[in-house]
Amino acid sequence: MQQFHRLDETHDPALQSWVESANDPATDFPLQNLPFGRFRADERDGWHIGVAIGDQVLDLRRAGFIATDDMRVLMALDAAQRSALRLAISRALRPGAAERQVASALHAQRSVELGLPCDIGDYTDFYVGIHHAMSVGRQFRPDSPLLPNYKWMPIGYHGRASSIGVSGESFARPRGQTRAPDLEAPRMGPTQQLDYELEVGMFIGAPNPRGCAVDMAHAESHVFGLTLLNDWSARDIQRWEYQPLGPFLSKNFATTVSPWIVTLDALAPFRKPFVRPAGDPQPLPYLDANANRAAGAIDITLEVWLQSAKMRQADSPGELLSRGSFTDAYWTVAQLVAHHTVNGCNLRTADLLGSGTISGPAANQGGSLLELSQGGKRPVPLANGETRGFLEDGDSIILRGFCEGAGARRIGFGECRGTVLPAMAA
């Protein structure tokens, strides 16, 4: 089994880079991170594979590390090859390395366009945030917020990959059918309850053949890395359409991901034991493994910021709405892969798995406005005098994620930003 929580020389917190901005304690992209993404200089240019280092991006093909600009080829490498590539890039960016050989392949991030990190295949969204499931469940089923299957298997549904966009995008408020409780017939129009969902995305690297389940011992070797994900949701449309087959138009209009994929290798210093609460059932054997119990959880701090149009006009960076941790997920990355494939489903390179909304146990740690405002009944007060039950036109939601801990260099995911525009005319 590939042990992604093993530390090596690339994790040394004392490592410095000749790229000075990478040595800033506040940067998301020090030498210990090296996340992968795609960039281009202008719209006439093709996409290139890059690695973020400080405020720069390193063109891997131009620097001689790879021979292709096809991200899927890189993602499909086996775990050992990916680790070797990470080590080579790390060594080349350290002081005393052959700086001249790769310096010409650096671009300022502010001078290039960052795109989707890969051409995404299928998209599956899970529901692993138990505090979110409990909070939302109490709004609809006060006596039984969790359905009987929740603690036995990862719950998920298949989403829409075509409407996934990258950080910085804007999208129109979606339209759809809704029905008020006191009306017999539904209405058609823009959603009045637009929401965000704070999630972690998982990109598949090496595929598995159809009919061949991936066991827990090998599950993480099929994961290329993690990203931030906002699964925008129209709650009033969702409430009317979700029975009997689950969400449809309430979810497929927009999903936003951050442009960088942080590898499991980079996340090794931030592994934690995966422990079920006392009294909860232990996973069935196909979802259990000693390595997963010892270090299956990943300690990622997750934040949601809101910047309203009024804040933007005042040059305000926005306001922090909530902060939580990926350790609050009820199922691990390995368990999601094992469960997804146990029936013979073949995951393919660049498929995307979403964690579902990650919320903390406290009332102010909700990963959505549905929780923070209790379904719009208690609008969230903002420092500038505004309130939010659900999102308004002009609102930007910014997700941020980072890892920090004793004996490790802080690393981050960059931001995942999306802005709501007015609905299109009927």
Whether the predicted pLDDT of 354 surpasses 60:
yes
Q: What is the mean pLDDT of residues 402-411?
A: 97
Whether the predicted pLDDT of 96 surpasses 90:
no
Position 4 scores a pLDDT of: 58
From the number of C-beta atoms within 10 Å of its C-beta (0-12, 13-18, 19+), residue 184 rates as exposed
Q: What is the mean pLDDT of residues 367-391?
A: 97
Residue 360's nearest CA partner among 135, 202, 138, 203 is 135
pLDDT digit string (tens) for 123-160? 999 999 999 999 999 988 888 899 999 999 999 999 99
Whether the predicted pLDDT of 2 surpasses 70:
no
Whether the predicted pLDDT of 228 surpasses 90:
yes
Helix (H), strand (E), coil (C) string for 281-340: CCCCHHHCCHHHHHHCEECCEEEEEEECHHHHHCCCCCEEEEEEEHHHECCCHHHHHHHH
Position 99 scores a pLDDT of: 73
pLDDT band at 1, cuts 50/70/90? very low
Residue 313 CB contacts under 8 Å (≥ 6 apart), including other chains: none
Q: How far apart are CA 64 and CA 72, in angstroms?
A: 18
Q: Is 5 a catalytic residue?
A: no
* CATH classification for the domain delimited by 9-114, as one of 3.40.30.10, 3.20.20.120, 2.30.30.230, 3.40.630.10: 2.30.30.230
Whether the predicted pLDDT of 19 surpasses 50:
yes
Residue 5's nearest CA partner among 65, 98, 83 is 83
pLDDT digit string (tens) for 20-54? 999 999 999 999 999 999 999 988 899 999 999 99
Domain boundaries, the chain: 9-114, 123-421
- Report the range of poorest mean pLDDT among 96-100, 169-173, 324-328, 411-415: 96-100
Q: How far apart are CA 113 and CA 374, in angstroms?
A: 38
pLDDT digit string (tens) for 237-260? 999 999 999 999 999 999 999 999
Given the residues 5, 11, 48, 132, the one annotated as active site? 132
- What kind of architecture, by CATH, is found in domain 123-421? Alpha-Beta Complex (3.90)
Position 381 scores a pLDDT of: 98
pLDDT digit string (tens) for 269-293? 999 999 999 999 999 999 999 999 9
